[in-house]
Amino acid sequence: MRTARKRFRSRAAAALTALTLPLAALIGLASPAEAATSATATYAKSSDWGTGFGAGWTIKNTGTTALSSWTVEWDYPSGTSVTSAWDADVTSSGTHWTAKNKSYNGAIAPGASVSFGFNGAGSGSPSGCKLNGGSCDGSSTPPGDTPPSAPGTPTASNVTDTGVSLSWSAATDDKGIKNYDVYRGSAKIATVTGTTYADSGLTKGTTYTYSVTARDTADQTGPSSGSVTVTTTGGGGGPGPGPGGDKVRLGYFTDWGIYQRNYQVKNIVTSGSASKLTHINYAFGNVTNGQCAIGDAYADYQKTYDASSSVDGTADTWDQPVAGNINQLRELKKKYPNIKILWSFGGWTWSGGFGAAAANPTAFANSCYSLVKDPRWADVFDGIDIDWEYPNACGLSCDTSGATALTNVLSALRAKFGSSALVTAAVTADGSTGGKMDAADYAGAAAYVDWYNVMTYDFFGAWDAKGPTAPHSPLTSYNGIPIAGFNTDAAISKFIGKGVPASKLNLGIGFYGRGWTGVTQDAPGGTATGPAPGTYEQGIEDYKVLKTACPVTGTIAGTAYAHCGSNWWSYDTPATIGGKMTYVKNQGLRGAFFWEFSGDTSNGELISAIDSGLK
């Protein structure tokens, strides 16, 4: 059998952030009653990965009457730009940038504030800030006083299983320092008046990244300090050192891949990939009647292998209690004991069963434990992965379990499997406003998982048969992207902003391309007549085929695209994977994963790119 992978079927409403519309169409003039003498605007960076950053402005009504709208203007130096934004309409004219409130956040009561955020490229800082035509610091003329300097890079001490102490050297400012904002990853976790902070409630054996920004007496924030990375002691069910350090390198092995694709567990060895992995997700177990269930009994534990097809070179016998993929995975673990294996349940086709599971999480967790830890293969599996597409949102079918359902299910699984087993989940990468990520409490559920596998692929594809053509796995936004928030950086930034630690996020790589036919335009954004032909399914093809059948003709937003004849494809290559692995390291993410083994070349060149990129 074949189980289809996930797709982004839903589409955002027409009110998407547009960075290319004329200024006159989007910018209104402030009335005298809304002059900047009654409000302030402060700027803060939330993250910085070298070639780009996350940032935002906070508008505070310091007056005695309500504001009905706001417009913030600033200048960036050449080479610095906004690439995607949320909670404001952001436009530009040269190096001058303007942000105007959305319909839902223009009104600000006295003493209240609103914020909007964005991702940017480059490294420059804003200047010449204006709020509703006046100064952003509430005085009569722009640009206001000088923001504070960057504090010193924090140093860490007293590192334990669950806490760390931080200290840093003071920032300077012409009007004095008021306080400091402390960031864990991109999430602000505290505001303190001194130059020390003790963080607590952390997860043992987990890596965290900290930075600090200063705020002056006019509430202006300055540039971020350097960052310090800290790994708590302990570890439990974590990944262990693995090859090339502690970054996760995880691949999905599909039970149905042994049939038409003829990709066997032994291929993981012969391709040279086994030595470059830390984890394998075996996909998929079924979710039905509120329980975990076998997905394909023949593939899972009944199919016998001859000596030439077996990992250990020994033929299976007809009467052995466990054969199939599970026994081959057992043999793989004997040869490569560093690899941990999780049984993944759900997937695109079987996610409809999670609704019943969420109705009784304890019963579901008990059934999963009984299956994963069945005495016949308890030595094979190190934990469980849940691939729910999507909690309280629509995938192949629509789920209405509620925002807390994912938290309840993962909490029950953690309670049943205990702290020594791995509990993980594959999650949406829909970073759009009001999208799938906003439908469930991913931050609350994160407390119960070792990590999330963020499915940062399939953003765009030929289910939109007429296009526009777009890369299915963009790392960042770009001018003309069909849907704001549908890119890797937006997804990662939004998870971190919601409070999910960066150290619990794995970035996803698709070992395949998505494509259209009837395309005449080389660059993304062209029209099409339908999906391009594929070996197993229209509109999708393995990397190992595309690398020679339709070689790369360009790159955009950190991934590649190819135009050959009338067909247009997008896919990742070793070079673009290298760039994405740099992003993983710069963001302090847990690691990377891929879908799935059989799309790679016979010598595992994509897995090699992940491995080398994370060292």
Tell how far CA 113 is from the center of its chain.
28
Q: Read off the tokens for 17.
A: 């952030």
**Burial degree of 133 (CB within 10 A; 0-12, 13-18, 19+):** middle
Measured CA to CA, the distance from residue 507 to residue 429 in angstroms comes to: 10
Determine contact, residues 518/524, Cβ cutoff 8 Å.
no
In the block, which residue shows the tokens 């970054």?
A: 247
- Residue closest to 332 by CA, chosen among 310, 302, 316: 310
Query: Which distant-in-sequence residues (6+ apart) come within 8 Å of 438 by Cβ?
Result: none
Q: How far apart are CA 510 and CA 403, in angstroms?
A: 28
- Quote the CA–CA distance of 377 and 367 in Å, as a whole number: 15
- CA separation for the pair 295, 286 (Å, rounded): 5
Residues with Cβ within 8 Å of residue 94, at least 6 apart in sequence = none
Contact, 451 vs 590, CB < 8 A?
A: yes
Report H helices in 486-562.
488-498, 543-549
The residue type of 362 is: T
The letter for the amino acid at 347 is G
Question: Is 389 considered catalytic here?
Answer: yes
**Nearest CA among 486, 504, 395 for reference residue 440:** 395
- Active-site residue identified among 389, 541, 596, 605: 389
Q: What are phi and psi of 20, to 5 degrees?
A: -120, 0
Whose structure tokens read 């197993």? 536
The closest alpha carbon to 311, from 258, 372, 269, belongs to 269
The rounded distance, in Å, linking the Cα atoms of 367 and 293 is: 8
What the block records as the tokens of 248 is 């996760």
Where would I find the beta strands (DSSP E) of 413-464?
Answer: 422-427, 451-454
DSSP 131-187: ETTEETTSSSSSS-SPPPPPPPPPEEES--SS-EEEE-PPP--TT-EEEEEEEETTE
Put residue 603 in one of left, alpha, beta given phi > 0 → left and psi -120 to 50 → alpha.
Answer: alpha
Nearest to 270, CA basis, from 602, 542, 543: 602
Q: ω before 605 within 30° of 0 (cis)?
A: no
Burial 529-556 (b: 16+ CB within 10 A, else e): eebbebeeeebbbbbbbbbeebebeeeb
Alpha-carbon distance values, 81 to 50, 433, 463, 600 (Å): 14, 21, 32, 36
Number of H helices, E strands in the chain: 13, 31
Residue whose token pair is 């003071």: 170
How big is the chain by its Cα radius of gyration, in Å? 25
**What is the full DSSP assignment across 311-331?**
TTS----TT-S--HHHHHHHH
Q: Which residues are catalytic?
A: 389
